[in-house]
Structure 1
Amino acid sequence: MSLGSQIAWDDTVLPFQLDRSDIRGRVARLDGVLDQVLAQHDYPPVIEALVAEAALLTAMIGQTIKLRWKLSLQVRGDGPARLIATDYYGPTEDGEPARVRAYASYDADRIDNKAAPFSQIGKGYLAVLIDQGEGMVPYQGITPIAGGSLASCAQSYFAQSEQLPTRFALSYGRSQLAGGKETWRAGGVMVQHMPKASPFVASEGGTGEQGLLKPEDVLEGEAAENWNRVNILLESVEDLELIGPSVSSTDLLVRLFHEEEPRVFDAQPVKFGCTCSEHRVRESLSIYSAKDIAHMTTEDGLVTADCQFCGAHYELNPASLGFEATEGSGDE
């Protein structure tokens, strides 16, 4: 494939609807965003893979939230991969890009890079958190780690917590075009049945691992037939169609779902973005006394802080920190 045939990768999430099936979805394509997320840290390969999958899921799920809202995924386990955390910040205005950031905490001595990335999580849970802004109570939903992938966990979350049948087809990894440098790429399709689940289903045991609900547990009749048909079509997708630079998102939808009458909406651009700042660091330290601040002060007479998401480093005058501060921040 020549570089001239490459479709511009612009880090987008394209929402769509299948009118015949009453199913909605998103097609996501990430490249520069993922490179920037992973460039902040020197992760082992299995951790990189987990962060890539989590970031892709976050971009796809986050596209549905409103302006200025924040959606987060947190994966916590008792294995070497202790924490995978991602944030999606909705655009501040229509037409502006959303922002994604992610990081991982792991036990380097226990990592097995020859094992499947998902196996490094162990037992734990995946949490979805939505912050609707000041004055609103954040929403949180939790599902156990199960199913063999983070995508499977997310599917269980939607079936269990929202009773929304959901399916993901994802692909991600390092890629290199002829004459180009190696970069990270990720792509995926998410399909989700419109809300029509029966309320009695939640009280019944699911057929999934650990008794969790599966999409087919919350559908019946024509809705189940539509869901099964669309899933059969989705299973025909190939990795190169999901992440390859020669197939556009709209062409992929037509190839997969042309008989389902796909209808696309405006694509949401996505970029890497972090919300850390000196002001936020100061706010987080405002609850501490002068004695507490003294314990945090280095031999050089500074209080330092590092952002886990973007690697930003802050050096602050301890006299200007905490609720017993004797100097203003402008005196540094």
Structure 2
Amino acid sequence: MTDMPDNIVMPFEIKPLGVRGRIVRLGAVVDDILHKHDYPAPVSALLAEAVALTAMLGASLKFDGKFILQTNSDGPVDLLVADFSSPSGIRGYARFDADMVAALKEPTPQALLGKGHLAMTIDQGQGMERYQGIVALGGVSLTEAALGYFQQSEQIPTRLRLAAGALAQRGLRPEAWRAGAIMVQHLPRDGGISPQPFDSGDAPEGSKEEVTEDDHWVKARLLLDTVEDHELLDPMLTPEELLYRLYHEDGVTVYPAVTLERHCTCSRDKVGDLLKSFSDDDRAHMNSNGVIDVTCEFCSTHYQFAPEEVEPAPEARAQAQ
């Protein structure tokens, strides 16, 4: 038996319906990201969904750059960050209040996030303009917030499912985290888009125009709505098999997948340069028994410096003054 495909983003197309999409399967990559920290299970699930969503959207970049997803909110998880660096790097981090998480009777994604905003940023590199879309958080899941982003920023008919969970396993860890995602969008080859209900807010109350959705798009999204979490997480169910279950009637074309890997951009040199940019007072406060100890929030790598290693050069100090 061949190995099941994992840690991938696979593009696909349902040509008769004018629909394109991507499916994400994350195993060891997301498990490694989560086990770099001691997250409660609900926080792990939320971050795993954020990583899957970021991988799905970031893998569509046609240039060397980054796709960054970040939430800022007043909930128990007040910060989520996940970023994709082309061509295949993914990482993620969550900041949370352990007491607030433990106090939740139902730690749903909506309750964990609270009110705030979700920002999605495309960074094309140094000297290039950034593009950012922002949607409000407040009683919505990551899936619902992402759909709001597509409706407001791109106005492309989109359907999306996210799933995350821990599976029992043998070996070093009693359980392994997995995440999955699937998205379809109506992008007919002729360049048109399907009609969709839209309210600009300018029309008088009660006069909202009724718009009939494209039948092909309705079929595609209704079929996607039948996907269950276990189908996105099952390591024994290939992406091709899941797509066949959904769209065999119309036929699915799959394209070469992007293979993902956990990565982190931190290094001793980068951390040292950052410390040199701090003030003397800031570095003095970080000095503990003659050592400055820094831990990367993403990968939990520890870096230690002697104070004299991170003193700015005289010319840099002169420029700062």
TM category (shorter chain) comes to: 0.7 to 0.9
In terms of mean alpha carbon deviation, does 284-293 or 263-272 score higher? 284-293
> Is the 1:290–1:323 contact (alpha carbons within 8 Å) kept by the matching residues of 2?
no
What is residue 323 of structure 1 aligned with on the other side?
312
Q: Please give the alpha-carbon distance, in whole angstroms, between the structure 2 residues aligned to 1:284 and 1:52.
A: 29
Pairing 1:158–2:150 present: yes
Q: Please give the alpha-carbon distance, in whole angstroms, between the structure 1 residues aligned to 2:180 and 2:279.
A: 48
> Is the 2:4–2:236 contact (alpha carbons within 8 Å) kept by the matching residues of 1?
no
| Residue 138 to residue 317, structure 1, CA distance change in 2 (3 Å) | farther
| Residue 203 to residue 315, structure 1, CA distance change in 2 (3 Å) | same
Structure 2 residue corresponding to 1:135, chosen from 118, 127, 133 = 127
Structure 1 residue corresponding to 2:9, chosen from 3, 8, 13 = 13
| Residue 7 to residue 198, structure 1, CA distance change in 2 (3 Å) | closer
What is residue 186 of structure 1 aligned with on the other side?
179
What do residues 39-73 of structure 1 show as CA deviations (whole Å, max 9, x unaligned)? 01111122111111111111111110134311111
What is residue 107 of structure 2 aligned with on the other side?
116
What is residue 266 of structure 2 aligned with on the other side?
276
| Residue 42 to residue 292, structure 1, CA distance change in 2 (3 Å) | closer
| Residue 7 to residue 252, structure 1, CA distance change in 2 (3 Å) | farther
Q: Please give the alpha-carbon distance, in whole angstroms, between the structure 2 residues aligned to 1:34 and 1:166.
A: 25
Q: Please give the alpha-carbon distance, in whole angstroms, between the structure 2 residues aligned to 1:135 and 1:198.
A: 36
What is residue 300 of structure 2 aligned with on the other side?
311
SS at match of 1:27: strand
Structure 2 residue corresponding to 1:258, chosen from 229, 248, 261 = 248
> Is the 1:44–1:113 contact (alpha carbons within 8 Å) kept by the matching residues of 2?
no
Supply the RMSD in Å over aligned alpha carbons.
Answer: 3.0
Pairing 1:75–2:71 present: yes
User: How many aligned positions are there?
Assistant: 305
State the AA in 1 paired with 2:148: S
> Is the 2:114–2:139 contact (alpha carbons within 8 Å) kept by the matching residues of 1?
no
State the AA in 1 paired with 2:178: R
The normalised TM-score by structure 2 is 0.85
What do residues 161-217 of structure 1 show as CA deviations (whole Å, max 9, x unaligned)? 111222112222011268994211222211122274599x987039xxxxxxxxxx9
Unpaired stretches in structure 2, ≥5 consecutive residues: 203-207, 316-321
Q: Please give the alpha-carbon distance, in whole angstroms, between the structure 2 residues aligned to 1:225 and 1:83.
A: 39
Cα distance, 1:131 vs structure 2: 1.1
In terms of mean alpha carbon deviation, does 298-307 or 126-135 score higher? 298-307
What is residue 214 of structure 1 aligned with on the other side?
none
What do residues 214-256 of structure 1 show as CA deviations (whole Å, max 9, x unaligned)? xxx9x955x6322211011112223332221232111211210
| Residue 144 to residue 196, structure 1, CA distance change in 2 (3 Å) | farther
The normalised TM-score by structure 1 is 0.83
Pairing 1:105–2:95 present: yes
State the AA in 2 paired with 1:127: A
> Is the 2:167–2:176 contact (alpha carbons within 8 Å) kept by the matching residues of 1?
yes
Q: Percent identity?
A: 40
> Is the 2:24–2:182 contact (alpha carbons within 8 Å) kept by the matching residues of 1?
yes
> Is the 1:73–1:128 contact (alpha carbons within 8 Å) kept by the matching residues of 2?
yes
> Is the 1:46–1:113 contact (alpha carbons within 8 Å) kept by the matching residues of 2?
no
Unpaired stretches in structure 1, ≥5 consecutive residues: 92-97, 207-216, 327-332
What is residue 235 of structure 1 aligned with on the other side?
225
